[in-house]
Amino acid sequence: MNLQETLSNQVKQAVLASYKVELETVEFQATRKEFAGDITVVVFPMLRFVKGNPVQIGETIGNYLVENVSTVKGFNVVKGFLNIEISDSYFVDAFNTIKDDTTYGLVSPSADDKSVMVEYSSPNTNKPLHLGHVRNNLLGYSVAEILKASGKKVYKTQIINDRGIHICKSMLAWLKFGEGETPESTGLKGDKLVGNYYVKFDQEYKKEIQDLVAKGSTEDEAKKNAPILVEAQQMLLKWEAGDDEVVSLWKKMNGWVYDGFNVTYKNLGVDFDTLYYESNTYLLGKEFVEQGLKSGVFAKEDDGSVWCDLTEEGLDKKIVQRSDGTAVYMTQDIGTAIQRIKDFPDVGGMVYTVGNEQDYHFKVLFLILKKLGFDWAENLYHLSYGMVDLPSGKMKSREGTVVDADDLVDEMAKTAGEISEELGKLDGYSEAEKQALYKVIGLGALKYHILKVDPKKRILFDPKESIDFQGNTGPFIQYTYARIQSILRKADVDDSEIKSTDLHPKEKELIKQLQLFPEVIQNAAEQHSPALIANYTYDLVKEFNSFYQNVSILGADNNDEKQLRVALSQTVANTIKTAFSLLGIQVPERM
């Protein structure tokens, strides 16, 4: 039982003994810095049940706690706030429990609990991953790790959009203009090579539109009738018909892209447990259209198309099958969700990491699945996130103006190197050690800059601003971790149990901050928000730096004091490392 639970029970006892009233809940908050105390009971909500002056009620409860609870050493009442002072021995005992727990804050999954499937990345195979994909991957991976840490079994997955007209555009442009070049012959990653032909297609398509307009076509007619587009549409029909030549080319070029994606995923430090391919899932869901028609969830229009009427739920009518019997994206997503539960029967919920432009789509998808009677549809969550902007403006794949993910990672490492050299922090490092460290710092800066922001908010990403060794940045936190490692290398104390001692206020504040970590993990999992972990870690680091500046760690007055301060430093470092691992960020031992 934690301190708040213990105090809650005792406050209820105090009110029952003094006022013959049973309270259902007790409201707590952190004690304001200008008042003495470690935790505050808010008296005002009690006035609905207890008649009297809030200051007098606070005094009565405070006196009861001092007499009956050994950990309470004093109190003060300010208006309707009862500020409670907790004994140093309580904090020392609490810290002994924390410091010896190698998995502090992490919860092991229960065998009976349902698993969660987290989908992220889900790229198209006609172009390399870009900055938008980076936010998607970092968010999805981090949320999966946080859910795991909170006690859930998690499957990480993606659906690869490996079919459709956009793929055919790259394939056709390569056939027309590629002259047989390959990733090997060009030295390019396969996803970049294929992406170049997607851009090439768009350039040729625009030229043909201009030619047709010059010959008298309207712009709409020209866009529809441009020969290269018509040819790409014919290629798609051939693919759908299983044409050997087209399917063979499709497999070859997609293979190049997958190899390229795998390099990027490794660079970003993200992974997957299972993969789904749209070429295998795009026909799924049609059987459930029939099921929905029979149950009345769907209705057929006069032209044969099938719709779901969601107007009573505040949405609109949504098509789930065209009049020619072909499926739409919604049908495919319905089928894919159901297929995943068939493949992984222990899954009881799913998290979809997809940009906020798809908010409406997921509202509709989740509602239709509920209407079709799937219990697990209650546990579907759209991890909706805002766009990533650059100081230079918006990115466009077709025009080749995107920020490539691999280039971004390289640029971050380069920038980290330039700033580190300027600060002169790396004397005595070999060149190989420097390069490895630059990558850790650069990636840490990138990931932290993106993950510290609430997922729903839009981000303006400035690489230089993110690599700062001061302030709320990844490198600042990494530097603090490395500083602690330097202290620990010089320390010469054992790790036996800390004896009860009078605590410096900064020691107590640090222990209080460490105590919050398990709750922060649970809240971050519940809210699907890595930002809570990131900002907790920054607060912990700020608290440690204040402690470091106000007390002498290695020059403590006696051995017990030194042992406590070294152990506190070690535990803070361990917590930083654990927290950053949930964000997919490494911490360097030296910096």
Of 256, 272, 294, which residue constitutes the final position of a domain?
256
421 located within any domain: yes
- DSSP H helical segments within 155-285, as ranges? 165-177, 183-186, 190-214, 219-225, 227-240, 244-268, 278-281
The larger pLDDT score, comparing residue 201 to residue 407, is at 201
390 located within any domain: no
Burial 367-392 (b: 16+ CB within 10 A, else e): bbbbbbebebbeebbbbbbbbbeeee
pLDDT in tens, 233-263: 999 999 999 999 999 999 999 999 999 999 9
469 located within any domain: yes
pLDDT in tens, 153-212: 999 999 999 999 999 999 999 999 999 999 999 999 999 999 999 999 999 999 999 999
Burial class for 264, CB neighbours closer than 10 Å (0-12, 13-18, 19+): buried
The answer for residues whose C-beta is within 8 angstroms of residue 568's C-beta and 6 or more apart is 95, 507, 510, 511, 547
pLDDT in tens, 263-319: 999 999 999 999 999 999 988 888 899 999 999 999 999 999 999 999 999 999 999
pLDDT at 94 over 70: yes
Same structural domain, 43 and 172: no
For tokens 């209650």, the residue is 378
205 located within any domain: yes
CATH no. for residue 49?
A: 3.30.1360.70
Same structural domain, 445 and 563: yes
pLDDT computed for residue 395 by the predictor: 43
pLDDT band at 338 (very low <50, low <70, confident <90, very high): very high
Of 22, 51, 86, which residue constitutes the final position of a domain?
86
pLDDT at 492 over 90: no
134 located within any domain: no
pLDDT in tens, 502-532: 899 999 999 999 999 999 999 999 999 999 9
Same structural domain, 411 and 549: yes
pLDDT computed for residue 420 by the predictor: 82
pLDDT computed for residue 446 by the predictor: 93
Same structural domain, 42 and 174: no
Measured CA to CA, the distance from residue 129 to residue 260 in angstroms comes to: 9
CATH no. for residue 437?
A: 1.10.730.10
Burial 108-131 (b: 16+ CB within 10 A, else e): eeeeeeebbbbbbbbbbbbbbbbb
The domain of 225 spans 164-256
pLDDT band at 397 (very low <50, low <70, confident <90, very high): very low
pLDDT computed for residue 1 by the predictor: 60
pLDDT computed for residue 415 by the predictor: 87
pLDDT at 393 over 70: no
In percent, how much of the chain has pLDDT > 70?
A: 98
317 located within any domain: no
pLDDT band at 534 (very low <50, low <70, confident <90, very high): very high
Contact 496, 486 (CB under 8 A): no
Angle between helices 190-214 and 244-268 (to 10 degrees): 120
pLDDT at 428 over 90: no
Handedness of CA 441, 442, 448, 453 (dihedral sign): positive
Same structural domain, 185 and 58: no
147 located within any domain: no
pLDDT computed for residue 54 by the predictor: 95
Measured CA to CA, the distance from residue 211 to residue 213 in angstroms comes to: 6
pLDDT computed for residue 429 by the predictor: 85
Same structural domain, 56 and 204: no
Of 235, 256, 277, which residue constitutes the final position of a domain?
256
pLDDT at 400 over 60: no
pLDDT band at 465 (very low <50, low <70, confident <90, very high): confident
The larger pLDDT score, comparing residue 463 to residue 516, is at 516
Range with lowest mean pLDDT among 143-157, 456-470, 546-560, 576-590? 456-470
pLDDT computed for residue 399 by the predictor: 47
pLDDT at 398 over 50: no
pLDDT at 494 over 60: yes
Give which of 412, 546, 439, 566 is closest to 490, Cα–Cα.
566
What is the average pLDDT score of the chain?
93
Contact 143, 157 (CB under 8 A): no
Same structural domain, 200 and 79: no
pLDDT at 394 over 60: no
Model pTM score? 0.92
397 located within any domain: no
Query: Count of domains in the chain?
Result: 3
